[in-house]
Structure 1
Amino acid sequence: MDNAERSESLLRLARACGVGTEYWAFDGTERHVAAPTLVKVLGALGVDASTPTRVELALLHVEDDAWREPLPPTVVAREGQAVTIPVHVPDGTPVSVWIDLDPEAGGGRRETRQVDNWDAPRRVDGRMVGRASFEIPGDLPLGWHTLRSRADDGEHVATLIVTPQRLHLPESLEHGRVWGLMSQMYSVRSSRSWGIGDFADLAETSWFAGRDLGADFMLINPVHAGEPAAPMTPSPYLPVTRRFVNPIYVRPEAVEEAAYLSAADRSLVEWAAEEAQTLNTSSGPIDRDAAWTHKRSALEVIFAAPRSAIREAQLADFRDREGKGLEDFALWCAIKETRPTGEWPDELWDPTSPEVAELRVQLADRVDFFVWLQWVADEQLAAAQAAAKAGGMSLGIMHDLAVGVHPEGSDAWSLRHALATGASVGAPPDMYNQQGQDWSQPPWHPKGLARAGYQPYREMLRTVLRHAGAIRIDHVIGLFRLWWIPAGSGAKEGAYVRYDHDAIIGILCLEAQRAGAVVIGEDLGTFEGWVRDYLTDRGILGTSILWFEKDHEGRPLAPEHYRAMSLTSVTTHDLPPTAGYLAGEHVELRESLGLLQAPVQEVRNEARAEREDMVRLLAARGLLGDDPSERELVEALHRLICLTPSKLLGVSLADAVGERRAQNQPGTDQEYPNWKIPLGDPNGVTVLLDDLVTNPRLRSLAAAMNQR
């Protein structure tokens, strides 16, 4: 159907499968998704729409789908609300339905009530199927329950999840607001780092920021795991898994066993540290491969050292708790270590193959090592959160959840039942990137995720939230719909695929409430207007960036008109730090990289006008004197966001020290050193954590935030 028109049947099929056939573009026009794109996206969902006949067959199949399931694969309800569900049985046979309650919610059994809601039987796959309706009680506790049915065709099981109506804010936000720092953690190095910022640096920075600066949170980049061997992907937003942690952030000397090494082993660790620590003061791009090579050699020495009985028991408990997911991830790391580059043969891409089973035995020692790395990383993350709280932070570490994972990573390998193949996630064209974006990440398969009882999603959230006071969801709109780009197509040739947002957001609220964490959604970009209201109703904060907030005339939005339920900041990691932005360096950078769609002088004029509009607003609010310095401008912008009603205020650590270089330039890969820029001063000279304590710009900006 490459040349097919958008037939009514194709449109019906796409909509029935959750594929958007139209969307509103950033310029306000409605765009129709081309028929070939719809066919390809449906194919990525496992629906064959390659010919008109197959479209009709697929329509019939979709209509019968629900009748094939004795129970819905997953039922998600809100606390306090009864839900009626369909139960399918051979026509004319009785059925009973009950609920085994979540052990974490107290356990036990609850019966359900059949309700009068007669539907005519339906012939499905050559047999008559009847439908009964049962009511899930509205007084069930929050949690992950098991729904069971029994009929003549046997017993069936489904997942029942009861989620909060609304995620309640902590006291510090319910009746007040707080500010915190935003940091690319890998860029903040100390004299004791191993060439890259680590969890020990995070602990010290957070403690200092809470105790001396009055900050209440530290937002960091995603710390999801990357490749176990060089070459490592620089972007923290393209991890191999979102469930586990990148051991590159482990501080070897902070592992308990490091204190008890023999003299010979201690020398090996010290030699590796000396090599790595020569990288700390370099103002050039951070070299993750070099840092990890040195660090891994030291960690292997520490891993081989004896552990006490208590420590062995703690490691065993961690391994048992994380279960098969951890074992599979560690095995993938062990295999990837032997094949760091090049494609894997098909048999290795199947985790259940005999070849993989054989490698599980052959590589058992390396699997043990990678399991151990996760354990010590988890301990050091816990220590960082404890240090943040000890320093007086009300929230502590705010973790960042990436949109997706590397197409050849661990999750893509072990979660193939819940991820879609044949498509990647991205974004349609917008005012900042008119070619669209392809992030290369495989999306969740909506039905695959539901059939898995949302367990992969739950396990991922529990890991990220375990040592967090808050979590930021990158591209939170992706929990409602994602822009799917079929394999082999350009970023413009995609379509939106919808998700069960009630289920996904509800589970997020449930896990965050259990962890006692605040949730912030990065709700920038193109989206439907009701989405923000929905997130607010569920207790999830949004994101406001000063430069992006405009009134109906395109001028800077008055601070009193900002949302209260928001994390508001002057800048974001996809823009240069504020000093660079004020100087128009974002325009010059994009021009040098060939990313501008309009003439460069036109874009320069727009940037100059934007700056002048902002300066006028600052002056009108009494925040700026005549002929201000760059530092005064940066502080005035932060005083401006203090005039908003926003619950959370974020300050980029790069802004606080006068850094000008961008961490990331969207639309580039190798053309710019994305995610490799170490924290530096206005001249690009490296600023170490050791020097932050006395940094006058940082202390002055913190004082401004504390005067709000």
Structure 2
Amino acid sequence: MDKLTLQATLPDSPQKDALELAGIATHYINAKGQQESIPLSVRERLFAAMAASESDFWQDIDHSPLPGVTIFYAETEYRLPLSRPGAYQWHLQLEDLSMALMADAHQYSGSSELDESPIIILPPTLPLGYHLLTVTQGDEQWSCRIIIAPQRCFIPRPLVNHTKLWGTCIQLYTLRSETNWGIGDFSDLKQMLGHVARRGGAFVGLNPIHALYPSNPGSASPYSPSSRNWLNVIYIDVTTVSEFQNSVTAQAWWLSAPVQQRWQAVRATDLVDYPQVMALKLEGLRHAYGHFKNLDDQHPRVSAFNDFLYNHGESLQKQAEFDAIHAYHAAREPFMWGWPAWPAEYHDGNSPAVRQFVENYADDVRFYAWLQWLAHGQLAECFTLSQRQGMPIGIYRDLAVGVTDGGSDTWCDKNLYRIKASIGAPPDPLGPLGQNWGLPPMDPQIMVQRAYQPFIDLLRANMRHCGALRIDHVMSLLRLWWIPYGETADRGGYVMYPVDDLLAILALESQRQKCMVIGEDLGIVPPEIVNKLQQSGVFSYKVLYFEQTPEGQFRNPADYPAQAMATISTHDLPTLHSYWQAGDLDLGERLGIYPDPEILAELNADRQRSKREILTTLFDNGFIDENPQEQRADVPMTPALSNHIHRFIASTGSLLIGLQPEDWLGMDSPVNVPGTTVQYPNWRRKITVDLNSIFDNIEIVRLLKAVQSTRDS
């Protein structure tokens, strides 16, 4: 049944065949392991969210005899069936034109026999990449993107050789230093890389550093970005920008008493004051940009910036336009949080009003593009430094699962992002209404129609200047929980994604960029994706708190899989000290997260049991000498116990481990409390001491030596 036939059967509501064709699941396995049906009414609302109208979704197809995109794994048989009978001529244009010129042109052209079920057999020597197949029959011609992908993602040679590596996972904004402007920046990242490298570490992992909102800096969640294709300019170290250093005006501004007072004030806070930090940085960068504009057109930095503009084309232009328009409206009305709050004539990124704005305020648009150039340049310097210091991975970046509905990505592409829905998670025992993350999903049908170019662009943008990419909620390659606009998460359903195609492209881009992949696979993980991720070379993500057997015992080090990164905690979980003291449960009670006393009592009892089981596992594996069965019930967290737990993680079979500075410092406060908004200052808490003090701490030095020694053993 094709789309035209289906359209004729859908006068009022989509039929079940249509819903299945759209990838809307009929049921799923819930947190209790039971099958649960998704109501037809919910599935119909999700179908409606996929397009402005059914006619948009079931638009006429061109009756092409071949699909718009076909993916083959390398060294398999490249046989492409055609859906219409007849004889065809075909030609394959290789992605690499130089390779095409060197190749025998005859092997990349051919014909199929007159047949009821014709098949094109492509040559077995095709290189990896994105090629274009053109098929002709008489006066008609069609095209298809042919993707040849490797079987597995890139894995650095030390990991291939089963060398166990460690690194640290940080929230960049939390770092303190002697020079930063009240928020961790790319110069702080350089310092962190140096400290970790000198102690044998292989990487520094970052929170998502995607573009947020320079004109709405209070929207600070790194997992709710404006764009996943561009960088958060707040991480620019203004003082190292050459135009800032060389501008008399900028230096006079910087050394003035009022500015120095503002600088000291934002540095002194225990929480990042995003509005004040961004205001200060933008003022300094405006002064620097004034100097940049006066440079000669032949100046090397001007030439480099122009090359950056040319190489990144429309994507960079639209990001800069969005930021400039946002700044214009926010200066006149502070509550302009995103494009849906702008005047209606600016809602379309290609509207006459937008084009007129770009013409009238071209210099402002160029300024925001210049900021992206600075951010990319400073991040590139960080990665280059890590490679010079011999770090096998260097930097690993984090790819958020989606973007906000008011940001630049949705403003630029309302067909790809379905703003009549948002993504989240289904209900579970601790969250009976589920989770709604407020992020509009990418439409899998549109991704396929565009031959996966949006996904390819996203991977390339995030694999730039790093040796590893962590994919948040990696199950999104298989399915996402869609929630119709205005509904709670329990009124949602799963929409399926072309997981095999996406994994093949992930492997291809990973190999090209020499960037390994770590998949955050916590929560409800469908069994069908576990093997696919493993076979594709995607590293799993193992958190100590969750690594328990069905009987509640904690896994022994040897039971951790090799193809994984093991951690003690994450940004969404309590620090080690807080976990041990149940500080997260006390905080949750104060914030109203656990209003039911019985549930809270059960959680506290489970925490006590988990602590005892952790101690038992440490004892059984020789990390502590005292049998926990002979100790008092509530063993406190001490530097020595923290050291033992860190050595335990270091001893696991997982080839990677990631450690948090908060756990070295014995910090209690989390950076994020899931399920809260204004109740807790999420994504703002800083590290308690500056970078140099962390690595001058004798206890931390000993701990990291113990970690390195354990990894080497």
Q: TM-score, normalised by structure 1?
A: 0.90
CA distance in 1, matches of 2:560, 2:604: 27
In structure 1, how many angstroms separate the alpha carbons of the residues matched to 2:265 and 2:407?
28
Aligned to 1:197: 184
Once the two structures are TM-superposed, the CA of residue 148 in structure 1 deviates from its matched residue by 1.9
Deviations 1:278-309 (A, max 9, x none): 24553532111110100000001111113361
Which deviations, in whole Å up to 9, do the C-alpha atoms of 1:661-693 show, x marking residues without a partner? 11111111111111111012xxxxxx1123223
The match for 2:525 is: 527
Farther-moved stretch of structure 1 (16-25 vs 272-281): 272-281
Tell me which of 150, 170, 175 is aligned to 1:183. 170
Q: 1:220 to 1:441 in 2, by over 3 A?
A: same
Match of 2:96 among 97, 103, 121: 103
Residue 671 in structure 1 maps to residue 679 in structure 2 = yes
Correspondence 1:331 to 2:336: no
**Residues 373-408 of structure 1, C-alpha deviations (whole Å, 9 max, x = no match):** 011111100111122223332110100000010111
| Worse-matched range after superposition: 168-177 or 17-26 | 168-177
Judging changes above 3 Å, is the alpha-carbon distance between structure 1 residues 628 and 474 closer, same or farther for their aligned structure 2 residues?
Answer: same
Q: Which of 282, 286, 309 is the equivalent residue of 1:319?
A: 309
Which secondary structure does the structure 1 equivalent of 2:229 belong to?
coil
Give RMSD over aligned pairs.
Answer: 2.5
Cα distance per residue 1:132-173 (max 9 Å; x no partner) = 432344431111222222334543333222211112421111
**Residues 39-188 of structure 1: pairs in structure 2 closer than 5 A:** 39-46=44-51, 68-87=63-82, 94-103=87-96, 106-108=99-101, 111=108, 132-152=118-138, 154-175=140-161, 176-188=163-175
Shift of 1:86: 4.5
- Asked whether the 8 Å contact 2:228–2:458 carries over to 1, the reply is yes
Distance 1:8 1:351 in 2: 32
Provide, for residues 534-575 of structure 1, a one-character-per-residue CA deviation record: whole Å limited to 9, x for no partner. 111111101000110111312211221111100101111111
Query: What SS is found at the alignment partner of 2:699?
Result: helix
1:634 partner amino acid = S
Q: Bigger shift: 607-616 or 214-223?
A: 607-616
Q: Which residue of 1 aligns with 2:7?
A: none
CA–CA distance in 2 between the matches of 1:660 and 1:439?
25
Counterparts of residues 633-672 of structure 1 (less than 5 Å): 633-672=641-680
Mapped partners of 1:195, 1:545: distance in 2: 31
Give the drift of 1:631. 1.6
**Unpaired segments ≥5 residues, structure 1:** 1-6, 120-130, 681-686
- 2:204 is aligned with 1:207: no
**Gap change, CA 1:219 and 1:562, over 3 Å in 2:** same
1:608 paired residue number: 608
Answer yes or no: is 1:243 the counterpart of 2:229: yes
Which residue is 2:405 aligned to?
407
C-alpha separation between the residues in 1 aligned to 2:90 and 2:73?
Answer: 19
The DSSP-based 3-state class of the residue aligned with 2:279 is helix
- Corresponding letter in the other structure for 1:197: G
Provide the rounded CA distance (Å) in 1 between the counterparts of 2:455 and 2:345.
26
Q: Partners of 1:634 and 1:603 in 2: how far apart?
A: 22
Which amino acid counterpart does residue 21 of structure 1 have in structure 2? T
Instruction: Name the SS for the 1:595 alignment partner.
Output: coil
Distance 1:294 1:485, change over 3 A: same
**Other-structure match for 1:24:** 29
On the 8 A contact 1:389/1:396 being kept in 2, the answer is yes
Per-residue CA deviation, residues 112-146 of structure 1 (Å, 9 max, x unaligned), is 55567955xxxxxxxxxxx7432344431111222
**Structure 1 residues 449-495: Cα deviation after superposition (integer angstroms, max 9, x where no partner):** 12222222222221221100111000000011111111111111111
**Cα drift, residue 107 of structure 1:** 3.9
Q: Does the C-alpha gap of structure 1 residues 33 and 261 become closer, same or farther in structure 2, counting only changes over 3 Å?
A: same
Kept after mapping to 2: 8 A contact 1:208/1:391: no
CA distance in 2, matches of 1:339, 1:152: 55
Query: Alpha carbons of 1:583 and 1:105: their partners in 2 closer, same or farther (altered >3 Å)?
Result: farther
Q: 1:117 to 1:291 in 2, by over 3 A?
A: farther
Spell out, residue by residue over 1:235-289, the C-alpha distance to the aligned partner (whole angstroms, 9 max, x if none). 1001100000011000011112223222x33111344862453245535321111
In structure 1, which of residues 213, 216, 224 is the aligned counterpart of residue 210 of structure 2? 224
Which residue does the alignment assign to 2:699? Answer: 697
Secondary structure in 1 matching 2:131: strand
Preserved CA contact (<8 Å) 1:419 1:444: yes
Question: Which amino acid is the alignment partner of residue 361 of structure 1?
Answer: E
Looking at structure 2, the residues matched to 501 and 84 of structure 1 have their Cα atoms a distance apart, in angstroms, of 21
What CA distance in whole angstroms lies between the structure 1 residues aligned with 2:309 and 2:141?
32
TM-score (norm 2): 0.89
Contact persistence 2:155–2:537 (CA under 8 A): yes
Contact 2:244–2:250 (Cα < 8 Å) also in 1: no
1:3 match: none
From 295, 320, 323, give the equivalent of 1:307. 295
Measured in 1, the distance between the counterparts of 2:352 and 2:315 equals: 19
- Seen in structure 2, the aligned counterparts of structure 1 residues 87 and 355 have a Cα distance that, compared at 3 Å, is farther
Match of 1:688 in 2: 690
The 1:98–1:304 alpha-carbon spacing in structure 2 relative to 1, beyond 3 Å, is same
8 Å contact kept, 1:159–1:453: yes
| 2:134 alignment partner, SS class | strand
CA contact (8 A) 1:114 1:132 kept: no
Q: Are 2:22 and 2:445, in contact at CA under 8 Å, matched by a contact in 1?
A: no
Change (3 A) 1:76 1:420: farther
**Cα distance 1:350–1:9, how it changes in 2: closer, same or farther (>3 A)?**
closer
Shift of 1:577: 0.9
- 1:122 corresponds in structure 2 to none
Where in structure 2 are there 5+ consecutive unaligned residues? 1-11, 627-634
Match for residue 373 of structure 1 among 371, 374, 379: 371
Q: Of residues 360, 363, 373 in structure 2, which corresponds to 1:362?
A: 360
Counterpart of 2:630 in structure 1 is: none
Letter matched to residue 285 of structure 2 = L
The structure-2 alpha-carbon separation of the partners of 1:523 and 1:243, relative to structure 1 and needing over 3 Å to count, comes to same
Q: Distance in 2 between matches of 1:377 and 1:318?
A: 12
Match of 1:556, SS state, is coil
Q: From the superposition, tell whether residues 476 and 114 of structure 1 become closer, same or farther in structure 2 (CA, over 3 Å).
A: farther
The aligned counterpart of 2:588 is 590
Amino acid in structure 1 at the alignment position of 2:190:
A
From 549, 552, 556, give the equivalent of 2:550.
552
- SS at structure 2 position matched to 1:150: strand
Question: SS at 1:439's partner residue?
Answer: strand
Deviation per residue, 1:522-542 (Å, 9 max, x gap):
011112113121111111101
Matches within 5 A, 1:403-482: 403-482=401-480
> For residues 508 and 295 of structure 1, what CA distance do their matches in structure 2 show?
36
Give the AA of the match of 1:608: Q
Answer with 358-367 or 342-351: which moved more: 342-351
* Higher mean C-alpha displacement, 174-183 vs 355-364: 355-364
Q: Distance in 2 between matches of 1:593 and 1:279?
A: 28
The residue type equivalent to 2:493 in the other structure is: A
CA distance in 2, matches of 1:381, 1:424: 31
Aligned to 2:253: 268
Equivalents in 2 of 1:112, 1:350: separation in Å? 43
Taking a change above 3 Å as real, the CA distance of residues 135 and 348 of structure 1, as seen in their structure-2 partners, is farther
Contact 1:149 1:155 in 2 (8 A): yes
How many angstroms does 1:8 deviate by?
13
